[in-house]
Amino acid sequence: MTASAWLILCWLGLALLSLASVQAGNSGASTLLAAGVLLAALVKAWLIVERFMELRHAPRLWRGLLLAWPLCLAAGILLSLRGLA
């Protein structure tokens, strides 16, 4: 598959994940829905790092750092939501 085809597929995936996040966010307020939205955000971050930034061939340290940041944010948000409930 060509690079431009991968980018188009990733763009479509990002758009679908964004639409799913908006739909889930408008469905109500629960920890499970918030976890679903955060999971979609993590998948989007992975797609951006791996495909758009083309770091799939980069050193593991860079990939790990760029993927750990959204994971830490999602964990912090979920922990704060659990504390509020």
Q: Which phi and psi angles does 4 have, rounded to 5°?
A: -70, -35
**Global confidence as pTM:** 0.81
Checking if the pLDDT of 83 tops 80, the result is no
Which DSSP helix (H) or strand (E) runs through 20?
Answer: helix 3-26
C-alpha span between 10 and 16 (Å, rounded)? 10
CB atoms within 10 A of CB 22: 12
Nearby residues of 24 by Cβ (< 8 Å), 6 or more positions away: 33, 36, 37, 40
Task: Kindly report, residue by residue over 52-80, the tens digit of the pLDDT.
Answer: 888 888 899 999 999 999 999 989 988 88
